[in-house]
Structure 1
């Protein structure tokens, strides 16, 4: 008997809803804090002639956009699967995360250019006004960071917004230090140096978001899952002779999927094997969305390899995709 196309997640059906821990209310509060303070900071930054303050305000604008995108993406991702979108629109959240990563890098590039210019020709900076504004900014960003940390950061979408806010907090700390140096020593170039330090942090966070979202778009396996190891564990289970067409990929940052074609020995219980394999990947790898096609080994065909002959059990497939795992320990 064959157990083809069975899906299993520990319940009668799949729940493709967005994780309940992702709390829109916390993101909305953070958004209100950011927009309110940003409006004031732009005005003060122009008056104080501080690039660090203006850059912080620009960064806060991207923070606001990042949180706005996160909220919109959450709403879109909740739409049910229908039509051609068989997974729904869950990857809208990954698009948002990628946009957040790209915006961090682009903004960092612009600030780098402006900071270098100010290092060469430093303007007069009103350090006192800059220091007071930076200290208030630290308080606002601590509050906003705390709000977003209360949401579900397992979502790459929320993590993108969180990274924006966290980097802005670092930026304000750098600005406060630079302002203190300007006030005490008159060293105006501290403003540009602080900006470059923050830019380095922005590049790091932006690269991380682009890397992680890019893995999902390229349908790579989750970073903590090694497909060859999974294939080896599956084929080592009782009655399993071969596993091929093994695919492991991420639908979103919080949901992975696995599919494979499994051959079992003649007389083996296909349904029992399927249940055991699903339990294994759920227990050891946290993958609950599985599609396993389980068949008995077809009639063996001998294939000449070198000086000997080995069984060829894959003639039933037109073409296999990915590594082939066999129970005799020979993988290809």
Structure 2
């Protein structure tokens, strides 16, 4: 099996996993809405909306994956891979909003403790926890290699923690009337959600702002390029990420001998690829002390 076929099979498996995760989250949302209406539990309906946001985050990630595979065209000459970075930003921003909302709810309950409406809410939360863990399991492996899927994965982890919080706090309240446990657990979950979002947001924004890839120092790149024979100077260097996995560079290269252009260009591109994982490079060559019409 060639690499292209293997990648295609991996992508197909990933799409099926995401599709299944979206489906079970939508079914859970529907079940919670019905359960909330029948039991008169507002908290169940609120949790249904939370699960719907998880399904939406997975759908955004799935659509972005589809768009990201589109080949480059005359509208998007670098291709569409940044669709996944944009989807990551959308999901991370909503994750921050979820974290802030959880913190707000937790602090508000200090003044107005929420009464858990019987064991039914705890049981439904347990079912939701199972679904959330199943969804997280489906996306965990994919999240290691894609910030887009990682952001959606964090949505599901946050929801799983929220469901776990309902079970623990609800049980403690029903058995011992420890209302403070609800506030404490919710604040801990909110802190975790905000921390995870804060660790990913800077990297996502850095890519969209065309920042230098993490782990690459421009001076090191220039030094490595200037070590190639016949290269006198390298300037006007720009390095950025096309997407999460592809680095790009453009630079001006001053040569001492223009007759060695093809050899120098090959050596530069090899050095950039091997030392800095820069697969896309655009080099403009100049000759030392040339006349204007020869440069």
Counterpart CA distance in 2 for 1:48 and 1:282 is: 61
Count of aligned residue pairs for this structure pair: 284
1:178-207 CA deviation, whole Å, 9 max, x = no partner? 123223311123223322222112212333
Deviation of 1:267 (Å): 6.2
For 1:182, the equivalent position in structure 2 comes to 173
Q: Unaligned stretches of 5+ in structure 2?
A: none
Name the SS of the counterpart of 1:224 in structure 2: coil
The range that moved more, 191-200 or 26-35, is 191-200
1:102-150 CA deviation, whole Å, 9 max, x = no partner? 1111222233222222121113213633332232222212211111124
Equivalent residues in 2 for 1:1-332, closer than 5 Å: 20=8, 21-22=10-11, 23-44=14-35, 47=39, 51=43, 56-126=47-117, 128-151=119-142, 153-266=144-257, 269-299=260-290
Counterpart CA distance in 2 for 1:56 and 1:270 is: 64
Counterpart CA distance in 2 for 1:214 and 1:25 is: 29
Deviation of 1:65 (Å): 0.9
The structure that is strand-richer by fraction is 1
Change (3 A) 1:280 1:185: same
1:34-61 CA deviation, whole Å, 9 max, x = no partner? 122233334556748585x666443322
Counterpart CA distance in 2 for 1:224 and 1:41 is: 46
Counterpart CA distance in 2 for 1:141 and 1:44 is: 18
Deviation of 1:299 (Å): 4.4
Name the SS of the counterpart of 2:254 in structure 1: strand
Counterpart CA distance in 1 for 2:279 and 2:229 is: 21
Counterpart CA distance in 2 for 1:91 and 1:26 is: 22
The answer to which structure, 1 or 2, has the higher relative contact order (CA under 8 A, 6+ apart) is: 1
Change (3 A) 1:57 1:226: farther
1:243-284 CA deviation, whole Å, 9 max, x = no partner? 111111111112221111112223662222221221122112
Structural RMSD (CA): 2.7
**TM-score, normalising length from structure 2?**
0.85
Counterpart CA distance in 2 for 1:54 and 1:203 is: 24
Change (3 A) 1:169 1:281: farther
Counterpart CA distance in 2 for 1:54 and 1:228 is: 56
The range that moved more, 94-103 or 220-229, is 220-229
Contact 1:49-1:124 within 8 A present in 2 as well:
no
Change (3 A) 1:212 1:60: farther
1:282-310 CA deviation, whole Å, 9 max, x = no partner? 1122221122223432349xxxxxxxxxx
